[in-house]
Structure 1
Amino acid sequence: MELAYIGLGSNLENPIAQVQHALTELGQLPLSQLVACSSLYATPPVGPQDQPDFINAVAAIETALSPLALLDQLQALEQCHRRQRLRHWGPRTLDLDLLLYGQRTVEHPRLRVPHAHMHERAFVLVPLSEVAAGQSLPLHQQPLDHWLAHLDHSAIKRLSHTELLADVTTSATI
């Protein structure tokens, strides 16, 4: 079994519910077990700003799936959530990124692990540091705290239980 970290993001069709459902679904992947998940965070979009803010989180799973088999499972979940790739860095119902897979590095036309540029993205490192405190990134060999100290994460807002409950109540009445 390998410990893998998955980044989750959504900014369409009730993003909080999209991420929460995806967390449940990650726990049901074959040969895998959900072992931890971060809080949910509201974050501004990267790239085009003419879209809603994102809800982001990170999940840790133990898996016996190979990196490419795990990627296939993640992309299948995105499709179940009606993910459409209309433009680069555009809005989406669900985005699942394989961030880390143990201490392995993967260079494949379909997959790069560690995820490219993750060490430059506060919306990834803030929730990742919650579930992987003290973790160092392969290749860079610097702990997450090192990378976080070099990033502006002032626009990232951890969602409170009240906000999460309000979203569930709103979803139930729609």
Structure 2
Amino acid sequence: MVYLSLGSNVGDKCQNLKTARHRLEETAEIRVVKASSFYLTEPWGKTDQDWFVNQVLAVETGLEPLSLLDTVLLIEERMGRVRQERWGPRTIDIDILLIDDRVINTDRLTVPHPRLHERGFVIIPLLEIAPGLVLPGRLPLQKVWENLVKNQETGCIKKLTCDKMSQRNIENG
């Protein structure tokens, strides 16, 4: 199983995630198996920007890891993603979190995602769709979450419904 995180904090954030998921599903060798709820989360890394809407997808794919990376980067580009500053605003961000129990370290791709264990906005939706998940060579994901909570490093994470009525609340954080 491959786990992808999706995030957006520009424009119609919920629609951006829905569009990214749709474009992933249009790819012949990618099948979305499970999708977490949407979560409204405060920015991480660079905090003086709009809040994000995040989601995690479990997908099956026949693509090799670097081909999958190329696919998600192309989707980001076609959705208007401009890489100007690290952790800056983005219409869409698609990160490869895990690929089965593989460990990959290349100049283009690191799996598991190197900051997965630091990001509550990824861990919570991942726990929602894969509650018993154990990271390769690490503690169970639940323990990783407990460590974040203990160290008070979770950030604000709110489950939400992405409909027209909630869009105003998303825009207001």
Give TM-score scaled by structure 2 length.
Answer: 0.90
SS across alignment from 1:164: coil
- Give the ranges of 4+ consecutive aligned residues of structure 1 lying more than 4 Å apart after TM superposition: none
Amino acid paired to 1:4: V
1:164 maps to 163
Instruction: State the distance in 1 between where 2:163 and 2:134 align.
Output: 31
Q: Are 1:6 and 1:58, in contact at CA under 8 Å, matched by a contact in 2?
A: yes
Identity %: 39
2:171 maps to none
Instruction: State the distance in 2 between where 1:81 and 1:65 align.
Output: 21
Instruction: State the distance in 2 between where 1:29 and 1:78 align.
Output: 14
Q: Deviations over 1:81-107 (max 9, x none)?
A: 100111111000000000000111111
1:145 maps to 142
Structure 1 unaligned runs (5+)? 170-174
Aligned match for 2:79, one of 78, 81, 89: 81
Q: Are 2:41 and 2:155, in contact at CA under 8 Å, matched by a contact in 1?
A: no
Q: Are 1:4 and 1:100, in contact at CA under 8 Å, matched by a contact in 2?
A: yes
Q: Deviations over 1:107-158 (max 9, x none)?
A: 1100000000101110110011111110100121x11110111124461000
Q: Deviations over 1:6-56 (max 9, x none)?
A: 000000011111011111222222212110000000000012222100000
Instruction: State the distance in 1 between where 2:9 and 2:155 align.
Output: 19
2:133 maps to 135
1:55 maps to 53
Instruction: State the distance in 2 between where 1:53 and 1:154 align.
Output: 11
2:156 maps to 155
Count of matched residue pairs: 164
SS across alignment from 2:89: coil
Q: Are 1:32 and 1:61, in contact at CA under 8 Å, matched by a contact in 2?
A: yes
Instruction: State the distance in 2 between where 1:117 and 1:48 align.
Output: 15
Q: Are 2:6 and 2:93, in contact at CA under 8 Å, matched by a contact in 1?
A: yes
2:92 maps to 94
Amino acid paired to 1:151: L
Q: Are 2:9 and 2:89, in contact at CA under 8 Å, matched by a contact in 1?
A: yes
SS across alignment from 1:124: helix
Instruction: State the distance in 2 between where 1:154 and 1:100 align.
Output: 22
Amino acid paired to 1:166: M
SS across alignment from 2:148: coil
Q: CA deviation at 1:165?
A: 3.9
Instruction: State the distance in 2 between where 1:33 and 1:49 align.
Output: 33
Q: Are 1:9 and 1:96, in contact at CA under 8 Å, matched by a contact in 2?
A: yes
2:68 maps to 70
Instruction: State the distance in 2 between where 1:45 and 1:12 align.
Output: 12
Matches within 5 A, 1:20-59: 20-59=18-57
